[in-house]
Amino acid sequence: MTAPADLILTNAEVHTLADPDETREAVAVRNGRIVRVADAYEIEFLEGVETEVVDCEGRTVIPGFVDAHTHLEMVGQHLVNADLREVSGPAEAVERLAAHAEETDDDLVVGYGYDESTWGTARYLTREDLDAVSTERPVVAFREDMHTASLNSAALDRFRGAMPAEDVQREGGDPTGVVVEAAVDPLFEATEPDRAETRDLLVAAQQRANELGVTGVHDMCRNSHKPRVYRDLDADGALTLRVRINYWTDHLDSVVDSGLRSGHGSEMVRTGAIKTYTDGSLGGRTAKLREPYADGETAGQWVVDPDELRAYVERASDAGLQFTAHAIGDAAVEAVLDAYAAHDAADHRHRVEHAELLTGDLVERFREVGAVASVQPNFLKWAREGGLYADRLGERRREVMPFRDLLEAGVPLAFGSDCMPMDPLFGVQQAVTAPERSQRLTVTEALRAYTRGAAYAAGEEADLGTVEPGKRADLVVLDDSPWAVDADAIADVDVAATVVGGDVVFRD
């Protein structure tokens, strides 16, 4: 006799995403893994007295989303500081910061996530704007990309000594309040949460993730308490999200010395890749391009130059570690692919994060090298006509994020959000409605990139990413079918329930 299931989801439209068009009616789960995917009556045989049965009432079931690029503390920070993501312009940003200043006991007033490209004015927040929040207390507003920040006069007084002069922007000799790249580092230090605060941020963020149908993340960790806190939460049985820790190159020696290799860890927390930057962002005109910006003199800058990058990739590869490099401009992507070419990128699952501007031969180079394209479909919001990328790149905006070209070339495609915002269905909608044919995916292709594609990017495709017997029972129940609703309404589809390892971790 077959043992009964622990959990059954039935009366559903289960899209397994194993085979592109396959649907079934029910899923049975035992010991955290899927044991059968079949018609409802076949699954009934697995129902015992203790089986939890969820009647999905015809709703859609898909594999849990794996967000292949997160900074989970950011999600928490938006929940506890001034959230500047949705503001309509400088005036509303100032209002939110002022309101937060009244609430917080901290001397430092911090806001996250402003994006001037969505405002009519399209200018950064300045010292003058933020002096209206306070002339006494330091005020810092991080731009959405975290490569740029704006400071009031009090914050400039406090932090300028620690900032490289070339990254502090000026007008007529006076600082405008806008700082970029290395000048942002002292602000990260000043706003760094301690271990207890980190735990609070991550607990808030994982709950939000589960509400959005996210069951796993590849989280970027640099000089933070996150690795320890993730393991503490795991030991306490308090994790409802699978976390793969990508360690910054600052930690490369420690990771090598401790004998860790990619994939080591528990069911919930694992060692991932070694991560570095190479360039900056298109927003900040610091992404490294082959040709100069359409609206600037320069072609961007290296944050980590190609020689240094090569050395990191070699050391990590030799130690059996996956590598992943932030590269946004076409020159930066080329440098990363060059560095990977000597190190069997497909075997290591070496990845390029963002890989935004892929001019000329770069899609083909990706295929040759065998690297994973870890991309963020939500960034397409900047690539539309009249958007930020049209300003920065002119006609080259048509060559950003060619997801269809990558798929057709056979390049492994993994979707993530970079937490701008964390919201897989928003990203899926952006990919499905992308302006260029070279960018546009079907609903199935986009969902696969956010599930099995992301699992592949971690070498975890045998365990995660599809609804198949033997895989871990990470599932999402959606109120409506993304295949049935208008493409422009995919982001509005609600998550009805989220299951991680057979446990219902969120139910609407």
What residue ranges bind Zn ion (CB under 5 A)? Answer: 418
Q: Which is nearer to Zn ion, 94 or 328 (CB)?
A: 328
> Nearest distance from residue 218's CB to Zn ion, in Å?
10
Half-sphere exposure of 432 (CA within 13 A, CB side): 23
Q: Which residues contact 403 (CB under 8 A, 6 or more apart)?
A: 375, 377, 413, 431, 434, 438, 439, 440, 441, 445, 449
CB 268 within 8 A of CB 275: no
> Nearest distance from residue 332's CB to Zn ion, in Å?
14
CB 213 within 8 A of CB 498: yes
> Nearest distance from residue 419's CB to Zn ion, in Å?
7
Residue facing Zn ion at closest CB distance? 418
Q: Which is nearer to Zn ion, 60 or 249 (CB)?
A: 249
CB 34 within 8 A of CB 468: yes
Question: What does the chain come to in residues?
Answer: 508
> Nearest distance from residue 217's CB to Zn ion, in Å?
12
Residue 118 CA to residue 388 CA, distance in Å, equals 8
Q: Which is nearer to Zn ion, 355 or 443 (CB)?
A: 355
> Nearest distance from residue 326's CB to Zn ion, in Å?
7
Element (DSSP H or E) covering residue 294: none
Q: Which is nearer to Zn ion, 167 or 418 (CB)?
A: 418
Half-sphere exposure of 273 (CA within 13 A, CB side): 30
Q: Which is nearer to Zn ion, 330 or 418 (CB)?
A: 418
CB 482 within 8 A of CB 425: yes
> Nearest distance from residue 391's CB to Zn ion, in Å?
22
Q: Which is nearer to Zn ion, 277 or 506 (CB)?
A: 277
Residue 161 CA to residue 180 CA, distance in Å, equals 15
Query: How do strand 242-248 and strand 82-83 relate by DSSP bridges?
Result: unpaired
Q: Which is nearer to Zn ion, 158 or 349 (CB)?
A: 349
Residue 119 CA to residue 441 CA, distance in Å, equals 28
> Nearest distance from residue 328's CB to Zn ion, in Å?
10
Residue 332 CA to residue 335 CA, distance in Å, equals 5
Q: Which residues contact 342 (CB under 8 A, 6 or more apart)?
A: 314
Q: Which is nearer to Zn ion, 141 or 217 (CB)?
A: 217
Residue 111 CA to residue 151 CA, distance in Å, equals 11
> Nearest distance from residue 246's CB to Zn ion, in Å?
10
Q: Which is nearer to Zn ion, 399 or 418 (CB)?
A: 418
> Nearest distance from residue 116's CB to Zn ion, in Å?
19
SS (H, E, C) 137-187: CCEEEEECCCCEEEECHHHHHHHHHHCCHHHEEEECCEEEEEEEHHHHHHH
The token duo for 213 is 């149908």
DSSP string, 434-502: -SSTTT---HHHHHHHTTHHHHHTTT-TTTSSS--TTSB--EEEESS-TTTS-GGGGGGPPEEEEEETT
Q: Which is nearer to Zn ion, 376 or 438 (CB)?
A: 376
> Nearest distance from residue 420's CB to Zn ion, in Å?
8
Q: Which is nearer to Zn ion, 131 or 418 (CB)?
A: 418
> Nearest distance from residue 220's CB to Zn ion, in Å?
6
